[in-house]
Structure 1
Amino acid sequence: MNASEGVAPAIESILAAADERGGGDRRLSVAARSLPAALAAAEEDGRVPVIGEVKPTSPTTDGRRDDDPVALAEALVDGGAAALSVLTEPDHFGGSPDALQQVRETVSVPVLRKDFIRREEQLDIVEADAVLLIARFVDDLAGLVIAARERGFQPLVEVHSRAELDDALAAGAGIVGINNRDLARLDVDLSTFEELAPHAPEDVTLVAESGIASRDDAARMRRAGADGLLVGSALMDGDVAANTERLVGAKR
């Protein structure tokens, strides 16, 4: 599979860097905190179930946050985030496995590792509760889903099209992220989630990703069936705790 075919140059660069990165030196075994349970608990508490992202930078945002990632994570949780996502991709997003490890040791909520994982051994870089697997960029999706679960990770399989959603479901994904961003053009359309969500079984946890910048956006995704919302840039711009509190609608 030529995964980079048809994608934006920035994504081609990310994939090339991911292919050059190796794996861990030992097979990990993780006692994961449940991401679906955390999202459900936030809803029961009257909060919008948000996965707040510790996101220093990205190819689609201006500027960079050089704050301590642990401080950013604590601010997200203080604002009411149900779970966290931490970038471990170093070259284009400013993330690191060390940052994820420090965050997970500090907070009590589930932590998703967000990276461009291409091969099984790359799962063994750092412990997390959940790992992102991007359907478009994985050759053996079913095999990688199984490998993640064997280590105790909860795989969150990201899709952008009906074909990718079908592949994710065939691979046994129980948590599916629908990315509103088209990685070919890097533009965002919230209708992507609305179009794909009805095709997912009710027992699959659905996460809406990208383009959620306001309470109205969050409400729109929730009406369309999102069990959780992955939000990064909108929370990182300014006062992280206050931004999160505004989006989730209630503070712990």
Structure 2
Amino acid sequence: MNDGVELAPAVQSILDSADDRPGGAERVSVDARSLDEAFAAADADGRVPVIAEVKPTSPTTEGERTEDPVALAEAMVRGGAAALSVLTEPTHFGGSVENLERVRAAVDVPVLRKDFLLRTEHLDVAESDVALLIARFLETDEADSLEAMHAAALERGFQPLVEVHTRAELERAVSVDAEYIGVNNRDLAELVVDLGTFEDLAPHAPDHVTLVAESGIGNPEDVRRMRDAGADALLVGSAIMADGDVEANTRELVSA
């Protein structure tokens, strides 16, 4: 699942934990809120389309936010977030399916489920508007390949966001007709962040694809850099969840 490249220990631990988690007992059916409409509304309003992430903690950051996830999510929406991302990985990110369900019930913007989804039954654990599929970890098993997971997500009503980091992964995402592709600036093998990753890959994406820049976006200058490189939207977690006012942090980025 990782092209033979050794992963950072923190990432391997997350992956092992995800592989051990059970899937849902019954297949879900989602009536998803449109990500396209949310991004278009932000653009029309003069806001940068930002997917703001409710991330209590992370192996790559220090500290944690202990506020109610719903309160954080509502503050992000007030700050102008076009959509939200909610961590459901419990062991390393402090997330939960309950947080996702509560946040989605409290807001009217699309909500992405952020997790390591490795098998089709993992899709059935919770309803969300968008499901993250990480290409690097969906490569070799025929039953749960990226193609199979992407098709299964669509069948359930999710809008799949396929995350890539390399040109080869981008080509695989395009080959499964992914409408939404996220370019992760963080190399999961070494956890090194380089905004140049998005700049390198974006020119090779088809025009009809919605490109989301992920990771390493810490200030308005980074936002402008990613937008200039072709990002239709940005996924931002740590910069918004950092110390300070979450609503103000979000507004600063969407106003860049």
Task: State the TM-score bracket (shorter-chain normalisation).
Answer: over 0.9
CA RMSD of aligned residues (A): 1.1
CA–CA distance in structure 1, aligned partners of residues 210 and 38 of structure 2: 11
* Contact in 1 for aligned 2:83/2:109 (Cα 8 Å): yes
Percent identity over paired residues: 66
Q: Deviations over 1:92-115 (max 9, x none)?
A: 000001100000001000000000
Asked if 1:248 corresponds to 2:235, the answer is: no
TM-score normalized with structure 1 length:
0.97
CA–CA distance in structure 2, aligned partners of residues 201 and 2 of structure 1: 25
Hey, which bits of structure 1, 4+ residues long, moved more than 6 A? none
- 1:40 to partner: Cα distance: 1.8
Aligned to 1:34: 34
Q: Deviations over 1:187-227 (max 9, x none)?
A: 11001000000111111000000000111100000011101
Q: Which amino acid aligns with 2:201?
A: L
- 1:249 to partner: Cα distance: 1.0
* Contact in 2 for aligned 1:11/1:183 (Cα 8 Å): yes
Asked if 1:67 corresponds to 2:74, the answer is: no
The gaps in structure 1 that reach 5 residues or longer are: none
Q: Which amino acid aligns with 1:57?
A: T
- 1:179 to partner: Cα distance: 0.3
Asked if 1:217 corresponds to 2:222, the answer is: yes
Aligned to 1:56: 56
* Number of matched pairs: 250
Asked if 1:125 corresponds to 2:130, the answer is: no
CA–CA distance in structure 2, aligned partners of residues 2 and 161 of structure 1: 12
* Contact in 2 for aligned 1:4/1:15 (Cα 8 Å): no
The gaps in structure 2 that reach 5 residues or longer are: 140-144
Aligned to 2:161: 156
Aligned to 1:9: 9
Where 1:229 maps in the other structure, the secondary structure is: strand
Q: How does 1:167-182 map to 2 (within 5 A)?
A: 167-182=172-187
CA–CA distance in structure 2, aligned partners of residues 149 and 46 of structure 1: 30
Q: Which amino acid aligns with 1:215?
A: P
- 1:7 to partner: Cα distance: 1.0
Aligned pair partner of 1:186 in 191, 215, 232: 191
Aligned to 1:98: 98
